[in-house]
Structure 1
Amino acid sequence: MEPLIINGTDDTPTISFDHNSGVCEISGKSLPEEVVNFYAPVIDWVEKYALKPKDSTVIKLKLFYFNSASQRYLLEVLNCFEKVKDKGSVSVEWHYHEDDDEMRESGKEYEDMVNIPFKFVSFQTIKN
């Protein structure tokens, strides 16, 4: 299975899903104008991956902003990953800036909505 790589823009996140490693990462900002068109190949890839996943799958979410339309599709992506649990382990790493309580809370809301274990990872901005 080929990896799914979508380069991020000012309005769309970077998508890096790799079947060989079992690591699937979404990072950046998510407010695409055509949210359905943007997330359709992501959902399609996850549905195919769920048929023959790695023994261990880690979903790394490193978003610093997403709009309400993206919020719905991120939930759909996570719901698709729930199917992986029948064939192996799956977990979410929710990365957020240590000062961004709102983003941490968003992760907690997703944790309550899906049946996947979450790990919360805070980070600091490094100043030069």
Structure 2
Amino acid sequence: MENISIQGTSKTPNVNFDVSSGILEISGRSIPENSYQFYEPLLSWLDKYASQPQGTTELTFKLDYFNTSSSMYILGILKKLEKLYLAGHKAEVKWYYDIDDEDMLQTGEDLKQIVKLPIDMVELDAEEDED
């Protein structure tokens, strides 16, 4: 099974799914022209990964903005991780949001209510440099 590494654009996020470490990250903006075309390979990858996951799977979302069609796929990704978690595997999500972005905070809180999965809300201070 191969890793997924996608360099983000002004419309699509950076994606790094590392099979050997179990560390998955989606960051940037998600407003792709065709959400299905962008996200479907990620969902398929997660299906394959779930058959032989690492001891711990950590999914990080560091999104500045995403559109409605992306939100459906973000929920789909979380649902796949939830399946893994409910099957007894260790899985956690880190949902980063800017200190001034109440919408992103609220979205993360809403997702926490929908999926049975530990989601850690991580506040980013706009003054701090990321990575």
TM-score by length of 2: 0.93
- Once residues 29 and 113 of structure 2 are traced to their aligned partners in structure 1, the CA distance between those partners, rounded to angstroms, is 22
- Aligned counterparts of 1:127 and 1:7: Cα–Cα separation in 2: 23
Which 5+ residue runs of structure 1 have no aligned equivalent?
Answer: none
- Structure 2 matches for 1:16-95, cutoff 5 A? 16-85=16-85, 86-95=87-96
SS of equivalent to 2:97: strand
Structure 1 residue 87, shift from structure 2 partner: 4.4
Seq. identity, %: 38
SS of residue paired to 2:42:
helix
**What residue in structure 2 maps to residue 6 of structure 1?**
6
Superposition deviation, residue 125 in structure 1: 2.2
Q: Which residue of 2 aligns with 1:123?
A: 124
Q: Which amino acid aligns with 1:9?
A: T
Amino acid at match of 1:23: I
CA distance change for structure 1 residues 106 and 13 in 2, over 3 Å: closer, same or farther? Answer: same
Q: Please list every run of 5 or more consecutive structure 2 residues that lacks an aligned counterpart in the other structure.
A: none
CA distance 1:10–1:52, shift in 2 (3 Å): same
CA distance in 1, matches of 2:34, 2:78: 19
Kept in 2, the 8 Å contact 1:55–1:87? The answer is: no
- Alpha-carbon distance in 2 for matches of 1:87, 1:39: 25
Q: Distance in 1 between matches of 2:68 and 2:19?
A: 28
CA apart distance, 1:115: 1.0
Per the normalisation by structure 1, the TM-score is 0.95
Give the secondary structure class of the aligned counterpart of 1:54: coil
SS in 2 for 1:78: helix
CA displacement at 1:5 relative to structure 2: 0.8
Q: After TM superposition, which residue ranges in structure 1, 4 or more long, deviate above 6 angstroms?
A: none
Q: What do you get for the CA RMSD once the two structures are aligned?
A: 1.3
